[in-house]
Amino acid sequence: MVDEQLVARGISDPTIIHAMLNIPRHLFVPAKLQREAYADKALPLGPGQTISQPFIVALMLSSLDLNKDQTILEVGSGSGYLACLASLLVKKVYGVELSQTLVESATDVAKKLELQNVEFICADGGYGYEDKGPYDRIVLSAACNEIPRPLLKQLAPDGKFIFPLTDPDGEQQLVLLSKEDDKLSEEVLGSVRFVEFQTS
The residues that are catalytic are 52
For residue range 133-168, what is the model confidence (pLDDT) as tens digits? 999 999 999 999 988 889 999 999 999 999 999 998
Residue 174: the pLDDT is 96
Q: Is the dihedral of CA 51, 52, 57, 60 positive or negative?
A: negative
Cβ 2 vs Cβ 8: under 8 Å: no
Q: Which tens digits make up the pLDDT trace of 36-64?
A: 999 989 898 877 789 999 999 999 999 99
Q: How far apart are CA 126 and CA 148, in angstroms?
A: 7
The pTM (predicted TM-score) of the whole model is 0.95
Tell me 47's DSSP state: T
Residue 113 per-residue DSSP state: T
d(CA 133, CA 18): 27
pLDDT tens readout for residues 61-112:
999 999 999 999 999 999 999 999 999 999 999 999 999 999 999 999 999 9
Domains of the chain: 2-192 (3.40.50.150)
Question: What does residue 199 show for φ and ψ, rounded to 5 degrees?
Answer: -125, 165
User: Quick one: 3 exposed, middle or buried, by C-beta within 10 A (0-12, 13-18, 19+)?
Assistant: exposed
Residues 123, 152, 56, CA angle at the centre, nearest 5°? 75
Calpha distance 98→91 (Å, rounded):
24
Find all residues with CB under 8 Å of 76, minimum gap 6, and list them: 96, 97, 98, 125, 140, 141, 142, 197, 198
> Which among 75, 99, 92, 82 is positioned nearest to 149, based on CA atoms?
75
Q: Are 160 and 178 in contact (CB under 8 A)?
A: yes
Q: Mind spelling out the 3-state secondary structure of 5-31?
A: HHHHHCCCCHHHHHHHHHCCHHHHCCH
CA distance linking residue 2 with residue 93, whole number of Å:
23
User: For position 200, what pLDDT does the model report?
Assistant: 64
